[in-house]
Amino acid sequence: MNIDDIIDQLGGAAAVQTLLGVGPSAVSNYRLRGAFPEYARVRIWQALKARGIHVNPETLADLDTPPTASGQPASALSHAVGMPQKTPQILLIISGGIAAYKALELIRRMKDQGWAVRVILTKGGAQFITPLSVSALSGDKTYTDLFSLTDEAEMGHIRLARDADLVVIAPASANMMARISHGMADDLASTAVLATGAPILIAPAMNPFMWANPATQANTAILKSRGISFVGPDSGDMACGEDGAGRLADPMAIIAAAERMLPGQGKLQGKQVLVTSGPTHEPIDGVRYIANRSSGKQGHAIAAALAREGAKVTLVSGPVTEPPPPSVQVVAVTTAQDMLDASLAALPADIAICAAAVADWAVDGAGASKLKKTDGAPPELQFRENPDILATISTHQQRPKLVVGFAAETDDVIAYAKAKRARKGCDWILANDVGQDQPVFGADENEVHLITASGASHWPRMSKHDVAKYLTDAIIKEITHG
């Protein structure tokens, strides 16, 4: 491949400038010379590799890539159909702490992946590393100030947040976590976190006592409950002389976690998934309705976990206050009938997960006017049965390959859930025991049994996000190994 082809494949001269951290005149010189300098070849090789284009790392000459089914090399085919993917855009936030120096290594590793990295360095972070060293590695300006007129003219803080495919906060100090868990927006980093729609990965680093402190743990739980992912902290000797959990995760572990979260990555890439979540509201009259205590936490966490693995998720949700998970298409509905209509509209899908607590009954003849209180007997409500969404999907012509239901049971959990699986025709049931002292509806934790054709397995009480991760792992295993 000649130098012009390589620059085209990498997204043009500006992208190559960013990749190599050089100015426009350098790229013009490379074109004139017909070659990249030796130091740049590894980065170019890795960036091309990330796009599925295989070249010799030393000469950057085309390799004989294995032919595809069409007989063309993969690189030629991807070129022909315009497949080279957009360079992943990472917004890295470096907050204060001795581990900030490791963020420099992290930037190098991210660039090695062929990712474009923009960095926000907080005031605390700048106590440990300089904007100059960050820029030298990221190949871009280092953003520090929320109210900088120059920065706003070049790259508004909202665009900084919105352009990102993934926000990585590494190291994340206890202070940074406390501030973002409470929605503060008093500096560039916290404002960007509030304004982004991209998935967020946090790599905490702090003194072990600070990490173990109930305040930090509560903030971690809040952030996790909003679908924010964590990597680390690791345990070991700390720079402060203490020993315990609080070390920044290894840069390569952060890269691996980030890679899984980038859109277009993950093991469920190309899979279409339908998830139902939350309660339904069934009107009694124009102002009253029948509902239940489902918060949508479990269903939303499942949608977020599947999206993180690259699935294209449609989340049909009843009325909830849970925020929409990143990279998920949310369809808001009210009644069971609305939920059925929206779910059927989301077919065909590869996988369906019905986590919603759907009302079994709707009030017949509920009108728009408010029922009046009279001196006589209270009104008598007539009920009609609602459609069963899970059973409908399970027997549908466009039945997804894997259909998963939930069962909220108070007694004989496994026996009733097994019977429900057979009755509704789904493949798996996640049975939660809602009869224990510990609440499930509206709570942050859940304890479930996974019922499949081959038996039942128990998942001990854990966060609803962890239940979502376990379920996602089980789905990946099922889909990839049959």
Q: H-helix or E-strand containing 237?
A: strand 234-237
In the bound state with ligand PMT, the residue whose beta carbon lies nearer, of 408 and 479, is 408
Select from 406, 468, 472, 474 the one that contacts ligand PMT (CB under 6 A).
Answer: 406
Residues 190-229 that bind ligand PMT (CB under 6 A): none
Minimum CB distance to ligand PMT, residue 430 (Å):
7
From 207-215, 234-242, 370-378, 388-396, give the range in contact with ligand PMT by CB under 6 A: 388-396
Size of the site for ligand PMT (CB under 6 A): 30
Hey, what are 467's tokens? 């239940």
Q: Helix, strand, or coil here: 420?
A: helix
Minimum CB distance to ligand PMT, residue 410 (Å):
10
Select from 201, 258, 262, 357 the one that contacts ligand PMT (CB under 6 A).
Answer: 357
In the bound state with ligand PMT, the residue whose beta carbon lies nearer, of 206 and 355, is 355
Minimum CB distance to ligand PMT, residue 390 (Å):
4
In the bound state with ligand PMT, the residue whose beta carbon lies nearer, of 128 and 406, is 406
Hey, what are 273's tokens? 């998934």
Select from 7, 255, 257, 407 the one that contacts ligand PMT (CB under 6 A).
Answer: 407
Hey, what are 28's tokens? 């013009």
| Amino acid making up residue 33 | R
Dist. CA 19–CA 88, nearest whole Å? 11
Considering only CA atoms, which of 5, 53, 63 is closest in space to residue 31?
5
Could you give the dihedral angle defined by the CA atoms of residues 267, 272, 277 and 283, in that order, rounded to the nearest 10 degrees?
180
Catalytic residues: 240
Q: H-helix or E-strand containing 417?
A: helix 413-424
> Are β-strands 234-237 and 243-247 bridged in parallel, bridged antiparallel, or unpaired?
antiparallel
Residues 421-440 that bind ligand PMT (CB under 6 A): 424, 432, 440
| Amino acid making up residue 290 | I
Q: Which residue bears the tokens 């990555």?
A: 265
Binding mask 358-387 for ligand PMT (x = CB under 6 A): x-x-------------------------x-
Select from 198, 390, 403, 475 the one that contacts ligand PMT (CB under 6 A).
Answer: 390
From 131-139, 234-242, 257-265, 401-409, give the range in contact with ligand PMT by CB under 6 A: 401-409
Q: Helix, strand, or coil here: 304?
A: helix
From 43-51, 258-266, 295-303, 471-479, give the range in contact with ligand PMT by CB under 6 A: 295-303
**Count of other CB atoms within 10 angstroms of residue 12:** 11
In the bound state with ligand PMT, the residue whose beta carbon lies nearer, of 281 and 464, is 464
In the bound state with ligand PMT, the residue whose beta carbon lies nearer, of 122 and 294, is 294
In the bound state with ligand PMT, the residue whose beta carbon lies nearer, of 282 and 309, is 282
In the bound state with ligand PMT, the residue whose beta carbon lies nearer, of 460 and 482, is 460
Most distant CA pair in the chain, distance: 95
Minimum CB distance to ligand PMT, residue 223 (Å):
17
In the bound state with ligand PMT, the residue whose beta carbon lies nearer, of 9 and 432, is 432
From 83-91, 185-193, 241-249, 350-358, give the range in contact with ligand PMT by CB under 6 A: 350-358
**Count of other CB atoms within 10 angstroms of residue 230:** 19
Select from 309, 388, 427, 433 the one that contacts ligand PMT (CB under 6 A).
Answer: 388
Q: Taking the alpha carbons of 268, 254, 186, 163 in that order, is the dihedral positive or negative?
A: negative
Minimum CB distance to ligand PMT, residue 439 (Å):
9
In the bound state with ligand PMT, the residue whose beta carbon lies nearer, of 21 and 387, is 387
Q: Is the bond preceding residue 348 a cis peptide, omega within 30 degrees? A: yes
Strand order in the sheet with 445-452: 329-332, 312-317, 272-277, 351-354, 402-409, 428-433, 445-452, 455-463
**Count of other CB atoms within 10 angstroms of residue 233:** 23
Q: CA-CA distances (angstroms) from residue 449 to 265, 297, 442?
A: 29, 18, 19
**Count of other CB atoms within 10 angstroms of residue 163:** 15
Considering only CA atoms, which of 146, 268, 249 is closest in space to residue 201?
249
R_g of the chain computed on alpha carbons? 26
Binding mask 324-343 for ligand PMT (x = CB under 6 A): ------------x-------
Minimum CB distance to ligand PMT, residue 382 (Å):
18
Minimum CB distance to ligand PMT, residue 300 (Å):
8
Q: Determine if 304 is a binding residue for ligand PMT (CB under 6 A).
A: no
Binding residues for ligand PMT, rule: CB under 6 A, are 276, 278, 294-299, 336, 354-358, 360, 386, 388-390, 405-408, 420, 424, 432, 440-442, 464
